[in-house]
Amino acid sequence: MRIHRFALTVVLFLLPATAVHSQARKCDEADSITGVKRTASKGFEYLIFEIRRDRASDSPFSPESYRVEEAEPPFTDYSGEETIPVSGAKFRKVTFISVKLYSNDDYCEIDTDGFKPGDLVKDLKLLYAFEGVAEFAVGFAEDARFISGYSYDAGNFTKVVIKFRKAGK
């Protein structure tokens, strides 16, 4: 009985500390990726990454700050040791350079809750976010075609759009 009480006390003491450290706050500062979502319209599907801008800054987010390239599985994390499964028949990698991933020495989490699979875009996985670089893998359907990647300013945000459509249309 004494051992069980001790174990329960230890678990209850450590539980709040581990819960606090395992929950990173959402990224919301200038130059951070605040979210990503998938939308669809008239036969097209779009992945939209939202980057918060500092309106007072002289260095707005630029097209050189990201790239979209063909990719093939297996996908791995930054160390190259952990394989990350990505659904789809074809793939692209989206890499962001010079994004803010920390604030006051606290890691922030890129919010991907807005992503839901669609008919064309099947999966989105964050491969890694380390030292200002965030890399995502995008899986899409065999009958989908990557069209383009572009960005535009929308108030205090820059939207980076990755556009897909059904092949043959």
Question: What are the sequence ranges of the domains in the chain?
Answer: 27-166
Gap between the Cα atoms of 141 and 168, Å rounded: 13
Gap between the Cα atoms of 97 and 128, Å rounded: 12
Tokens of 125: 């996985």
Confidence check: pLDDT of 158 > 70: yes
pLDDT level of residue 10 (50, 70, 90 thresholds): very low
What dotted CATH number matches 27-166?
A: 2.60.40.3500
Q: Given this model, what pLDDT does residue 155 score?
A: 85
- Reported residue count of the chain is 169
Where are the alpha helices (H) located in the chain, listed in sequence order?
A: 2-22
Between 20-24, 41-45, 94-98, 111-115, the lowest mean confidence (pLDDT) is in: 20-24
Reduced DSSP (H G I as helix, E B as strand, rest coil) percent helix, strand, coil of the chain, to 5: 15, 50, 35
26 contacts 38 by C-beta, under 8 angstroms: no
Confidence check: pLDDT of 127 > 90: yes
77 contacts 131 by C-beta, under 8 angstroms: no
Gap between the Cα atoms of 137 and 127, Å rounded: 7
123 contacts 117 by C-beta, under 8 angstroms: yes
Q: What is the pLDDT of residues 32-83, one digit of tens each?
A: 899 999 999 999 999 999 998 876 554 556 767 899 999 999 999 988 999 9
Gap between the Cα atoms of 68 and 147, Å rounded: 11
Gap between the Cα atoms of 43 and 23, Å rounded: 37
Between 87-91, 111-115, 138-142, the lowest mean confidence (pLDDT) is in: 111-115
Distances (CA, A) of 42 to 28, 39, 46, 129, 160: 31, 11, 11, 33, 19
61 contacts 31 by C-beta, under 8 angstroms: yes
Between 9-23, 119-133, 136-150, the lowest mean confidence (pLDDT) is in: 9-23
